[in-house]
Amino acid sequence: MAGVMIGIDPHKGSHTAYALDEREQRVGQVRVRASAKQVQVLLSWAADWPQRTWAVEGARGLGQLLSQQLLGAGERVLDVPLKLAARVRLLNTGQINKNDPNDARSVAVAALRARELAELTAEDHTEVMRIWSRRYHDLGRLRTQLLCRLHAVLCELVPGGFAKKLTVAHAVAILDRVTPQTVIAQAKLDLAREMITDLQRLDARRRDARARAARAVAASGTSITDIRGVGPIIAGAVLGYVRDIHRFADRDHFASYNGTAPIEVSSGNRKIYRLSRRGNRQLNHAIHMVAVSQIRYRDTEGRAYYDKKLAEGMTGKSALRALKRKISDSLYTRMLNDAHRLSTKDPGGQTGNDSASSAASSHPATPALRTSHSRACGAQESRIGGLIVVRHDHSGAVLCSVRGLPGADRFGRGARSWRVGEGCRAAGAAA
């Protein structure tokens, strides 16, 4: 039998699989216990359908391990969003109860009917960046929770309280001045000191998570960190959730995925657009933090773009949304250029582009891009004929970049690089 779609409803203790043919007719059903042999059991059960596709509900959540195991076995796996499977179950014409087999069937039906479901690929280095970025944010939430509790305890020890903003050093200074008069006050003082110790431990773990994320981002060779406000944590979140930029057809699809594209709610002659609350909210939050960082400083192109939108009559929130969309376009262009650069990199040298990769070439209003000073430092330009030759010291090796060579655009950046000697000879020959 060909064209079998197998929907899986994953759980911590078990997984339910439901197989449908192309006419959405049931051809099989099984429930396996979550164990080390779960994949072997599923493959043995599905051996009668060589032309099969697996559709896993929440394949990047609870079903991540099972999905990666199926990929490792050479299977084709689709990721079915939870909401899509729930809508299929809700709109089904029959009386379907909420149970694991019906959930697995809804997943299979959704996979058969949907046209553009994401096909999973094996995890790569982007998963490392996402792990440490999430770890940093999780530790930040724990720190905020603990700091609020410490704030409440200190308010019970210090008459009149103190300012809302509280740091570990400030809390230590406050506790050094407290003299407990009762056993209860002494207990609260001891509790506050333990909380401060916990805060210091969390701060150390956050620094470690940030350092790990920074190393992973640096190893990826991405250029999105050249955007003002994009540090290692935000870069790790963006690259970790995007994974492969080529899965987005254009910048509009990417904006829809990250929730920066508005939703049309027009009716009749009225054209109305409202805020989108769809898409990846973690990625949307990362873009939001970049926008807020750019608005905070008046010397950024993002702040200039924000002020321009305010002058045009937009509200502050509308101008912020417009800026977030521009940042989304810049991120998309840079990630696309990075992917193109890595795929076309000359094995005998480096791409050697000294210019800032940005969306400004195709979208002049794209905000808040800055040149990486580490690569431009020490560069010397000279002209040979109609070409521009740039000599620059990069990591101790002197390189020669040549701009204006015929066909250089096929390298994505409009430049070629060689080590000194062969590069200058090639430039002279081309001139």
H-helix or E-strand spanning residue 393: strand 387-394
| Predicted pLDDT of residue 421 | 37
Write down the residue that tokens 């039906």 correspond to: 109
Q: Residue 378: pLDDT band by 50, 70, 90 thresholds?
A: very low
More confident residue, 411 or 45: 45
Q: What is the mean pLDDT of the chain?
A: 80
Rounded to 5 degrees, what are φ and ψ at 321? -65, -40
pLDDT at 333 over 90: yes
Q: Can you tell me the distance from the alpha carbon of 11 to that of 287, in angstroms, rounded to the nearest whole number? A: 32
* C-alpha distance from residue 59 to each of 76, 240, 356, 407 (Å): 12, 15, 37, 42
| Predicted pLDDT of residue 394 | 39
pLDDT at 143 over 50: yes
| Predicted pLDDT of residue 420 | 36
Q: Cβ(389)–Cβ(382) under 8 Å?
A: yes
Rounded to 5 degrees, what are φ and ψ at 277? -110, 20
| Segment among 114-128, 134-148, 329-343, 344-358 with least mean pLDDT | 344-358
More confident residue, 231 or 416: 231
| Predicted pLDDT of residue 95 | 54
Pairing mode, if any, of strands 77-80 and 118-119?
antiparallel
Q: Could you give the percent of the chain with pLDDT greater than 90?
A: 51
Q: Is residue 280 helix, strand or coil?
A: coil
Q: What digits encode the pLDDT tens for the residues 263-321?
A: 888 888 888 777 888 888 999 999 999 999 999 998 999 999 999 999 999 999 999 99
Q: Residue 408: pLDDT band by 50, 70, 90 thresholds?
A: very low
Q: Can you tell me the distance from the alpha carbon of 330 to that of 287, in angstroms, rounded to the nearest whole number? A: 11
More confident residue, 385 or 23: 23
Pairing mode, if any, of strands 118-119 and 263-264?
unpaired
For residues 47-59, give the mean pLDDT: 91
| Segment among 132-136, 181-185, 191-195, 412-416 with least mean pLDDT | 412-416
Q: Cβ(206)–Cβ(132) under 8 Å?
A: no
- Sheet strands side by side (includes 77-80): 26-33, 14-20, 4-10, 52-57, 77-80, 118-119
Q: Cβ(364)–Cβ(308) under 8 Å?
A: no
For residues 2-29, give the mean pLDDT: 90
Angle at 391 between CA 390 and CA 392, to 5 degrees: 115
More confident residue, 147 or 371: 147
| Segment among 169-178, 249-258, 261-270, 351-360 with least mean pLDDT | 351-360
Using alpha carbons only, how large is the chain's radius of gyration in Å?
28
Token reading at 272: 């109305």
| Predicted pLDDT of residue 410 | 31
Pairing mode, if any, of strands 26-33 and 52-57?
unpaired
pLDDT at 256 over 60: yes
Q: Which residues contact 244 (CB under 8 A, 6 or more apart)?
A: 121, 339
Angle at 286 between CA 280 and CA 287, to 5 degrees: 90
Q: Can you tell me the distance from the alpha carbon of 331 to that of 324, in angstroms, rounded to the nearest whole number? A: 10
In the chain, where the domains are located? 4-119, 125-220, 232-343, 346-355+374-431
Q: Cβ(124)–Cβ(72) under 8 Å?
A: no
pTM of the model: 0.70
**CATH architecture, domain 4-119:** 2-Layer Sandwich (3.30)
CB atoms within 10 A of CB 67: 25
Q: Can you tell me the distance from the alpha carbon of 179 to that of 2, in angstroms, rounded to the nearest whole number? A: 79
| Predicted pLDDT of residue 136 | 96
